[in-house]
Structures are given as structure tokens and as C-alpha cells.
């Protein structure tokens, strides 16, 4: 060790410089606004795009939106949705989900089921407080899914608007589908090799 480095070490030891450096950091943070949330007393502001628990929705007059088409079940990569559909005897060609289950323990919150639904019957909510000691209670059935949809209706609709699934103020009962914004691409000219085929056909 050089003489200069040795002298520096002696001064540092004598003046407790490491302690003062550490105390400087402590004092600096004493005058900062704390960023720790005192959960659950304080709650975070959750964005409308948040993917929380799934809920089933009804139309404003109380009728169930779900037509039991199974598209959400087919789209789910985790195979955690089970829909059992039945015919409505009073309305020819009208179907509905007589049973609906989502095993939320398997759900990866990808949102594919919501995007696949042609009548926007499914939506994600801002609900995330459903931890439990009994895993079996996390198999959400139709009643529980509609309960979630009712309790979090405003957030569920905001989710659909934020993802371009539904337009605000619109409540059509027609089978409809809006592509999510992420899927819509600007119109591009066809690739050159396709252009050639088109030209040959038209010649
Ligand atoms: S969010 Fe994804 S994983 Fe969860 S139920 Fe829907 S499709 Fe399945
Ligand atoms: S929630 Fe939507 S996609 Fe799933 S069965 Fe009902 S109507 Fe079909």
C-alpha cells in the first residue's frame, strides 16, 4: 500500500467517514415523500387496461350477454374455461350458457377470452383481492362470474373501451366484433411477388 493510500485510510478511520456517508443517504431520504403504499389502507390507482379477475356482463335490462358460443373456451391457452350451452326453447336459434366455469388458478390473464367473445360478455375487472386458503373457491362458476361483473361493471366496461372491444355509449345486441387496436395494421400495398401474380392474372 502506498503512503498516500495509507494516510487516506487512517483519516477515514479517524473521522468515521463511511458512517457519515451512510448517514447522508439516511438524512436525504428523511425529507423525501415516502413512496411505500400502506396497503390495504391505501390503494393504488389501477389503469383501465388492468387485467384483473374476469367477470360476465349483462345488458342494461339485465339480460345475460353470453350466448354460449364457446369461443372463449377455444381461445383460452390455459384451458381453464368450461362453457356448457343450452338452447332457449322459447327463442329458436337462441343459445345461452347454462353453466360457465373459469378456474382462475390456471388463468394467466392474457385477455384472449375477452377478445374472442363476439358479444363482449366477458371482461376483465380491477378486482385482485381474492386470495384464499381454500383453492377450491377459485373455481369461479357462472353465478360468481356474474356477481363480479355486476359489482365491477364500470371497470369492466372501461376495460372493453380501453382495449377497443366496445365503444362507449353503445349497447347493440347484434353479433359484432371490433378487432383489438393491436391487431389493426395500417393499409399496406401487397408484397411484390403477389403484385406480379395479380398482374399476370389480369393480363
Ligand atoms: S385471460 Fe387468458 S388464461 Fe385467463 S381465462 Fe381468459 S383466455 Fe384463459
Ligand atoms: S362469454 Fe362470449 S365467447 Fe364465451 S361462450 Fe359466452 S358469448 Fe361465447
Question: Which ligand is located closest to the Cα atom of residue 177?
Answer: 2
Whether 183 shows a pLDDT value over 80: the answer reads: no
pTM (predicted TM-score):
0.74
Whose alpha carbon is nearest atom 5 of ligand 1?
Answer: 107
Any ligand 2 atom below 6 A from CB of 81: no
SS3 59: coil
DSSP 8-state symbol, 190: P
Residues in the chain: 203
Locate 129 and state its grid cell: 383481492
Residue appearing with cell numbers 448517514: 23
Confirm if 135 and 90 have CB atoms less than 8 A apart: no
Q: Do β-strands 95-103 and 81-87 pair in parallel, antiparallel, or remain unpaired?
A: antiparallel
Regarding the beta carbon of 112 and ligand 1, being less than 6 Å apart is answered yes
Distance in angstroms (rounded) separating the CA atoms of residues 148 and 162? 19
Closest atom of ligand 2 relative to the 67 alpha carbon: 7
Report CA(12)–ligand 2 centroid distance (Å). Answer: 70
For ligand 1, say whether the CB of 82 is within 6 Å of any of its atoms: no
- Helical axes 142-151 vs 153-162, angle rounded to 10°: 80
Q: Residues with Cβ < 8 Å from 181, sequence gap 6 or more?
A: 163, 164
Over residues 12-65, the pLDDT tens digits come to: 888 888 899 999 999 988 888 888 888 889 888 999 999 999 999 999 889 899
For the cut 50, the answer to whether the pLDDT of residue 193 exceeds it is yes
* CA-closest candidate to residue 111, choices 65, 55, 152, 151: 55
Instruction: Quick: pLDDT tens for 119-145.
Output: 999 999 999 999 999 999 999 999 999
Q: What pLDDT, on the 0 to 100 scale, is given for residue 198?
A: 46
What is the rounded average pLDDT for all residues in the chain?
A: 86
Q: Which domains does the chain have, with CATH numbers?
A: 1-35 (no CATH), 54-162 (3.30.70.3270)
Amino acid at each position: 500500500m502506498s503512503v498516500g493510500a495509507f494516510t487516506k485510510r487512517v483519516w477515514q478511520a479517524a473521522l468515521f467517514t463511511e458512517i457519515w456517508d451512510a448517514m447522508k443517504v439516511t438524512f436525504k431520504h428523511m425529507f423525501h415523500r415516502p413512496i411505500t403504499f400502506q396497503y390495504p389502507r391505501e390503494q393504488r390507482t389501477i389503469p383501465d387496461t388492468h387485467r384483473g379477475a374476469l367477470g360476465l356482463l349483462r345488458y342494461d335490462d339485465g339480460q345475460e350477454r353470453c350466448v354460449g358460443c364457446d369461443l372463449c373456451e377455444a381461445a383460452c391457452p390455459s384451458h381453464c374455461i368450461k362453457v356448457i350451452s343450452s338452447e332457449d326453447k322459447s327463442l329458436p336459434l337462441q343459445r345461452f350458457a347454462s353453466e360457465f366455469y373459469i378456474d382462475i388458478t390456471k388463468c394467466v390473464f392474457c385477455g384472449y377470452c375477452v377478445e374472442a367473445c363476439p358479444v363482449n360478455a366477458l371482461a376483465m375487472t380491477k378486482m385482485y383481492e381474492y386470495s384464499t386458503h381454500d383453492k377450491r373457491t377459485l373455481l369461479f362458476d357462472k353465478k360468481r362470474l356474474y356477481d363480479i361483473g355486476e359489482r365491477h361493471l364500470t371497470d369492466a366496461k372501461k376495460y372493453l373501451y380501453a382495449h377497443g372491444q366496445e365503444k362507449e355509449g353503445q349497447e347493440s345486441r347484434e353479433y359484432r366484433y371490433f378487432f383489438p387496436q393491436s391487431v389493426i395494421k395500417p393499409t399496406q400495398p401487397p408484397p411484390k411477388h403477389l403484385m406480379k401474380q395479380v398482374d399476370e392474372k389480369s393480363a
